[in-house]
Amino acid sequence: MSTELIAHLQQELAQTREAGLFKSERVIATPQGAVVRTADGRELINLCANNYLGLSSHPRVVAAAHEALRTHGYGMSSVRFICGTQDLHKQLEARIAQFLGTEDAILYAAAFDANGGLFEPLLGEQDAIISDELNHASIIDGIRLCKAKRWRYKHNDMADLERCLREASESGARFKLVFTDGVFSMDGTVAQLDRIRALCDQHGALLGVDECHASGFMGATGRGTHEHRGLLMGGKSRVDIITGTLGKALGGASGGFTAGPREVVELLRQRSRPYLFSNTLMPAIAGASLAVLDLISESTALRDKLEVNTRWFRQAITEAGFEIKPGDHPIVPIMVYDAVKAQQLSARLLELGVYAVGFFFPVVPKGQARIRTQLSAAHEPEQLQRAVAAFRQAGLELGLVK
């Protein structure tokens, strides 16, 4: 390989390190859970997984994966349209559609692929995509691959969304699609889907939502942000297109989906490149995901416990003297503002047995550094009490709280 390129890469890496932006990975030697042990033997209360419902290592989910492995094998060695579609995959697509209140659903290897392969097959030059400026990277990339004209509105700003809708209409766009994260992962902000739906209706636009941080627990029965915002009526979704992941609350392995009208899903099966040109989801994930949907459809106990844990933690960490981003989502950003302080706090928490990661520029705006904590139904009250005590101690030591 070219020595010039290697030298160039070494320089890039050194600059990333100097800027304090180098991401190192901590190695865990246990299954994902409320408590994890790192490879160097430390037991940590885990406040930074997307394991919202505690299903990542749930016995029923693991058993269903074993069973699917036994009955359907390890891998499909094929894409879906050649010889990669099993009954399990068809069942899972039907169950996801039923759970979300759409006509149909299509599976992908990841939500990144669902978003990456969504826009280009559906919309062309005559159309318009209007998106929130803070949408997830996979949505941004997916939109880049599509020839539709683009508008971006200021984050969560309904007046600016309306401006974009008006401009798109005046430009003579054939179809207009508004697309947003249901929940934004840096702040835990929940999109105002009811207001966005009303604006879309006024301007004749379709609405699409990425539900990665919502499916399984937002709303009274965990269907997602559409349920939370009153857009699930008689079990039918008033959001036109929903993308989501199996890699967060819904079991935490991997896999993604797009749910929506039958014709949308049908066309994606014909034309969506990550679907056509990438291997079928592992059968064990399909089998386990069916068990996840059974589990959370039988009872709301897990999402209810998550809600209780979230409410308790938000109040306790505030009483411990910290400032958090207000809201009711299990993403609880603890604001430190200063990037160095945020790193020091995260490092001290680790010593005190709490795993919580600092986020700073460029992941969040400059001067907005924070520790992002995430609650889980797997957390027990005693673990959360210990975590808050550790925050209090580290915060006092670092002069962050009084």
Ligand X SMILES: *Cc1c(COP(=O)(O)O)cnc(C)c1O
Q: Which residues are catalytic?
A: 185, 213, 248
Tokens in use for 134?
A: 């803070």
Coil vs helix vs strand at 202 = helix
DSSP string, 232-281: EETTEESSSEEEEESSSSS-SS--EEEEE-HHHHHHHHHH-HHHHSSPPP
Q: Does 247 bind ligand X (CB under 6 A)?
A: yes
Residue 267 Cβ vs ligand X, minimum distance, rounded to whole Å: 21
Q: How far is the CB of 246 from ligand X (least distance, A)?
A: 7
Binding mask 222-241 for ligand X (x = CB under 6 A): --------------------
231 annotated binding-site participant: no
CB contact burial 176-215 (16+ within 10 A = b; e otherwise): bbbbbbbbbbbbbbbbbbeebbebbeebebbbbbbbbbbb
Task: Judge whether 20 and 343 are in contact, CB under 8 Å.
Answer: yes
User: Is residue 274 a contact residue for ligand X (CB under 6 A)?
Assistant: no
Answer yes or no whether residue 111 interacts with ligand X by CB under 6 A: yes
Contact 189, 229 (CB under 8 A): no
Which one of residues 104, 127, 132, 210 is an interface residue with ligand X (CB under 6 A)? 210
Pick the closer one to ligand X by CB: 43 or 133.
Answer: 133
Q: Which two tokens stand for residue 293?
A: 């949907």
Among 47, 99, 105, 112, binds ligand X (CB under 6 A): 112
Residues within window 172-191 making contact with ligand X, judged by CB under 6 A: 181, 185
- Residue 253 binds ligand X, judged by CB under 6 A: no
Q: Is 226 known to sit in a ligand binding site?
A: no
Question: Quick one: 51 or 383, whose CB is closer to ligand X?
Answer: 51
Q: Does 136 participate in binding ligand X (rule CB under 6 A)?
A: yes
* Binding of ligand X by 272 (CB under 6 A): no
| Residue 279 labelled as part of a binding site | yes
The residue count for the chain = 402
Cβ atoms of 23 and 363 closer than 8 Å: no
Tell whether residue 209 is a contact of ligand X (CB under 6 A).
Answer: no
Which one of 72, 80, 89, 213 is in contact with ligand X (CB under 6 A)?
A: 213
CA–CA gap between residue 223 and residue 235 (Å, rounded): 10
Running DSSP on this structure, what letter comes out for residue 298? H
* Stretch of 55-63, 104-112, 147-155, 369-377 lying at the interface with ligand X (CB under 6 A): 104-112
Cα 194 to Cα 231: distance, rounded to the nearest angstrom: 7
- Of 92-100, 208-216, 299-307, 312-320, which segment contacts ligand X by CB under 6 A? 208-216
Among 209, 187, 185, smallest CA distance to 197 is for 209
- Told to check if 199 binds ligand X by CB under 6 A, we report no
Place of tokens 């005046």: 170
Instruction: Choose between 256 and 358: whose C-beta lies nearer to ligand X.
Output: 256
Angle at alpha carbon of residue 224, lines to 179 and 368, rounded to 5°: 65
Q: Determine if 212 is a binding residue for ligand X (CB under 6 A).
A: yes
- The one segment of 68-76, 110-118, 153-161, 265-273 that binds ligand X by CB under 6 A: 110-118
Q: Collapse the DSSP code of 32 into the 3-class scheme (helix H, G, I; strand E, B; otherwise coil) and give the result.
A: coil
Binding residues for pyridoxal 5'-phosphate: 185, 245-248, 278-279
Binding site for ligand X (CB under 6 A): 110-112, 115, 136, 138, 181, 185, 210, 212-213, 245, 247, 256
| Residue list, annotated binding site | 136, 185, 245-248, 278-279, 372
